[in-house]
Amino acid sequence: MHLRALGSTQPATAGIRDENPQAPPVNVRVDHHAAGAGVGSVSLVVPLPAGTFPNALVIDGERDRFLVTDSTGGRIWRAPVRGGEASVWSADPALAPEGFFGANGMKIHDGAVWASNSDHGTIVRIPVTRDGGSGRAEIRATGLAGIDDFDFTGRGTEILAAINQGSRLVRVDADGAHQTLLDAEDGMQGTTAVAVRGQRVYVTNGANLAGDDPTLMLAELHRR
């Protein structure tokens, strides 16, 4: 597997391996895109305590609630979608920061809440109990210092992770092994978020800690 860069404004390709060793590998094609959006009226839905740093937000549709990571507090908050009082869903030590940011990106997948921890460079899986509470956290991947957001590729628990401080897009296998697919040579600059939609992968570059060109990039997954 290798990474081939075709220039800062040209597409780049990289391989993504399926969890099934018999399945063909997948390619990534990256293009630059501009984006714009309007904003309507804004209202307060859920107040949070002073000192909280709300970061990732997901909607748990099965339980009609929000889940929100608190990066400086090392917690995940929950609150009803209809609005109301927030309460701590999990304050597991695996979510705690170590000087800067702890719990950061978050997804619900396969009966659990998954969160990244930027300071510790980890991906954490927290099972959801029958009553909707949090079980004991387990570390599923390490060695990802500066990890921000992430998403699942649709192949089991394979993940694509945005590494902010390293300006990289990384594939994380089910066993925690990881490989850089795209880096600064491919246009990654302070990579902040990733969203997988079918064969498309959207990647944002905040250029806040590295570079000076914030962008939205599109990666297309191709089997070969």
Residue range 174-191, pLDDT digits in tens? 999 999 999 988 889 999
Burial of 111 (0-12, 13-18, 19+ CB in 10 A): exposed
Task: Kindly list the strands in the beta sheet with 215-223, ordered across the sheet, starting from the edge strand earlier in the chain.
Answer: 3-4, 13-16, 26-33, 215-223, 200-205, 191-197
Instruction: Give the C-alpha separation, 54 to 76, whole Å.
Output: 9
Domains and CATH numbers, the chain: 1-34+143-224 (2.120.10.30), 51-142 (2.40.10.500)
pTM > 0.75: yes
Instruction: Give the C-alpha separation, 183 to 156, whole Å.
Output: 24
* Three-state DSSP class for residue 22: coil
Residue with more model confidence, 209 or 58: 58
> Confidence band (pLDDT; 50, 70, 90) for 130?
very high
Q: Over 90: is that where the pLDDT of 123 sits?
A: yes
Q: Over 60: is that where the pLDDT of 104 sits?
A: yes
Cβ atoms of residues 71 and 95 within 8 Å: no
Share of the chain above pLDDT 70, in %: 80
pLDDT for 219 equals 85
